[in-house]
Structure 1
């Protein structure tokens, strides 16, 4: 997908009506990062309790982990017939607003650190322009199980990031000639108005912003815990710098799939106990996965150590999905948090970054009164994942120019509250 298609004329973009904001300044811009179960999401199921939503997210996470693993197996797949990309179906967790065209049309799209291509649902009753009718302008985004696909034209448009509620004047950032797939045909069930790829590949939004603006190739997010009714925040440009106290930076390492943000996990620590990871152990940092997936060599001793340290009665794991659960009926939330020891991830070689996971990063309530470990044994080698529960209340910044990812503890609800109340 190296060529840029001609600008489509007369394309009508379909969109949901929703309230989202963006703030733009000389230091970059920020947009809402909306969890699919947020009260602001049109895809929230109001019939589910909060624990039930977490359990559903855990189920989606298992499907996503399998999909990421299949993508490794298909890393060398390619096609000479136009722009073709075969992918695996990936459940998602977060969405963002995009404003496309002139005048801008607002759309709510999946925001995915595990994908690159931006594609949006388009409607073009006149068919493809004659100037863009050959196969080089067409794309096919085919999912590996064959049940889902999107196809259309590789196009360019102006993307606008602005403060749409007028609280900060008329400042806006317009980025011309953003390449995206204008989807005219979709097979299967898709949620949202499209997908914004935030991965490491050339066509991702972060790479295109770096190529077409002075913002650089960097972005960050701060994920609000599931239990808090507030939006998370997604930052681009200088604003993505992670400068909070306790920030830990580690190099990104090469991956079989360029899209994925991969780091080297050296060990897992609880107190004075250290459990070494297998040699040269790559782990994907993925906002789209709920759970964290690690090798049995790490999960088994972790479960054993936590079982000994946490003085709570055991509980049955729902659907045997999670490896360790406790009965917390009648125990206050603050009391539970005080009973769970910190878990430290040591990343990078030569004593690199240490990321400390608090109780909210390692355990979740999946049934009323049932608290379970959100770290599970790797089911789909060779892909290990640091999921979004482990990243809650952290400012996580990706700098593709420097080739690093940085983690810092943060109060994400407070950090985003000035933007999204």
Structure 2
């Protein structure tokens, strides 16, 4: 059992919109991008003194606080009179290397499918949070351009955008559930994304989520899968009734369904039923090893939002088709890509 859950920080694969282009793409299927877990040795947040169990426990606690990211921010104004909190990237679970501007300026950014805004700190900035890497300089990019108030980009942000009557430029202001915020100009520029040359063909039949309204957020920034409290209770009871082992307690993470990892634990098969798709999960998508002798169910109840977390997405090629408005899942060994 220990070998099954010993590597919980596997890569998460991502396939994005097929109509976007990139320098290394060799077909019209779109592009793939490698995602770097925040606790990976390739991440600037990697702490070599932490054990795998400590990293996982921290990720579980971040999942709980992550729910506040999706709270109704329309009632929270990002004004200077509010307490200001330094923004850090510690809550982002996966990072990716991108380049912005012409010539390309490298940036390591959070790959967050739970947010709709791409932003980075820019020069000049008198009130930025401390950043080790250099700031992006808009004046150094020949393709940078502020957008007007009547632009489609400005209109797309709706209540997050505001306009300057002096120079007809569009600005944004976004606050988050922890009362931190970001604000600045809305602009267009060249975004360069690398692509994996060895990516497999994606076959978008039998694995599309459909175009319905949906009732769950597919989020790369949350570790656990969070479900409505009452529904989760029924799920937990069903999972527990099919496991022939004594339940254990883990007060440090708050996960309620845990078992000893020292024995041969047989866990049930779980299938996520999306509109038009069934996604079959492996045991490593459903249970995580929180210590040397304890494994826990990687699902949890939530009184507000339902979130499909990144543990459930591990070793899947996740495709986002913004033309047909579908999401697809293809089982993949990300370590071999």
TM-score (norm 2): 0.70
Distance (whole Å) between structure 2 residues aligned to residue 23 and residue 240 of structure 1: 14
Tell me if 1:40 matches 2:42.
Answer: yes
Secondary structure (helix, strand or coil) at the match of 1:122 reads coil
Cα distance change of structure 1 residues 234 and 388 upon mapping to structure 2, 3 Å threshold = farther
Secondary structure (helix, strand or coil) at the match of 2:110 reads strand
Tell me if 1:250 matches 2:223.
Answer: no
Determine the structure 1 residue equivalent to 2:173. Answer: 141
Q: Which of 248, 265, 272 matches 1:345? A: 272
The structure whose RCO (Cα within 8 Å, separation 6+) is larger is: 2
Distance (whole Å) between structure 2 residues aligned to residue 294 and residue 151 of structure 1: 32
Question: What is the correspondence of 1:86-101 to structure 2 with a 5 Å cutoff?
Answer: 91-101=91-101
Distance (whole Å) between structure 2 residues aligned to residue 33 and residue 140 of structure 1: 27
Determine the structure 2 residue equivalent to 1:103. Answer: 103
Determine the structure 2 residue equivalent to 1:202. Answer: none
Determine the structure 2 residue equivalent to 1:260. Answer: none
Question: RMSD of aligned C-alpha atoms?
Answer: 3.5
Distance (whole Å) between structure 1 residues aligned to residue 68 and residue 288 of structure 2: 22
Tell me if 1:61 matches 2:60.
Answer: no
Distance (whole Å) between structure 1 residues aligned to residue 24 and residue 49 of structure 2: 33
Cα distance change of structure 1 residues 66 and 38 upon mapping to structure 2, 3 Å threshold = same
Determine the structure 1 residue equivalent to 2:115. Answer: 115
Tell me if the contact between 1:95 and 1:108 (Cα under 8 Å) persists in the aligned partners: yes
Tell me if the contact between 1:361 and 1:392 (Cα under 8 Å) persists in the aligned partners: yes
Structure 1 segments unaligned to the other structure (5+ residues): 1-21, 80-87, 164-232, 255-262, 264-281, 417-421
How far apart are residue 292 of structure 1 and its match?
A: 0.7
Tell me if the contact between 1:294 and 1:384 (Cα under 8 Å) persists in the aligned partners: yes
Determine the structure 2 residue equivalent to 1:325. Answer: 258
Distance (whole Å) between structure 1 residues aligned to residue 43 and residue 189 of structure 2: 26
Determine the structure 2 residue equivalent to 1:4. Answer: none
How far apart are residue 374 of structure 1 and its match?
A: 0.8
Determine the structure 2 residue equivalent to 1:283. Answer: 216
Tell me if the contact between 1:240 and 1:397 (Cα under 8 Å) persists in the aligned partners: no
Tell me if 1:389 matches 2:311.
Answer: yes
Distance (whole Å) between structure 1 residues aligned to residue 56 and residue 253 of structure 2: 15
Secondary structure (helix, strand or coil) at the match of 1:251 reads coil
Distance (whole Å) between structure 2 residues aligned to residue 298 and residue 125 of structure 1: 47
Tell me if the contact between 1:33 and 1:234 (Cα under 8 Å) persists in the aligned partners: no
Distance (whole Å) between structure 2 residues aligned to residue 234 and residue 372 of structure 1: 36
Determine the structure 2 residue equivalent to 1:373. Answer: 297
